[in-house]
Amino acid sequence: MDRVPVLKLGDILIVSIQIDLQDQSVLALQEDLADKVVATGARGVIIDITAVEIVDSFIGRMLATIAAISRMLDAETVVVGMRPAVAITLVELGLSLGGVRTALNLEKGVALLNHLEGSRIAAAVQ
């Protein structure tokens, strides 16, 4: 089974999915990410799916689950790089990924996380 590497950049964890995901790899990634969020105290997770050609209901559910788990561990998840054909297919499949934040690319994903962190600090100061 291929494992997807989790990279750390400052307090953000970055996962770039470059392989055709098997179901086991998807489950392993969920656990790896949850462990790493806690171990590093990361405040954000970015999942880059630029290279992912299809997102079916299993992978879609994985994205939603990772977002939910990270949120519970005090980190926000942003999915970046979704291809237009994948977005069209997901909506038609009936999966709109309501609870998952998205950004068009890695740069915008990082900016979104910084913005979220900024509002969180502002809220804490008040």
Partner 1 sequence: MTTPAELPVNSNSDVVLVRQHVRTTAIDVGLSLVDQTKVVTAASELARNALVYAGGGQVRVEIVHNGIRKGLRLVFSDEGPGIPDIEQALTDGWTTGGGLGLGLSGSRRLVDEFDLKSAPGEGTLITVTKWAR
Q: Which spans of this chain sit near partner 1 (rule: CB under 8 A)? A: 20-24, 53-58, 60-61, 83-86, 88-89, 92-95
Q: How far is the CB of 29 from partner 1 (least distance, A)?
A: 14
Q: How far is the CB of 32 from partner 1 (least distance, A)?
A: 18
* Angstrom distance (rounded) from CA 82 to CA 89: 11
Contacts of 111 (CB under 8 A, 6+ apart): 103
Q: How far is the CB of 58 from partner 1 (least distance, A)?
A: 6
CB-wise, 13 or 49, nearer to partner 1?
49
Phi/psi at 44 (5° precision): -150, 150
Q: Which amino acid is at 7?
A: L
Give the end-to-end CA distance of the chain in Å, rounded to a whole number: 48
CB-wise, 33 or 55, nearer to partner 1?
55
CB-wise, 13 or 55, nearer to partner 1?
55
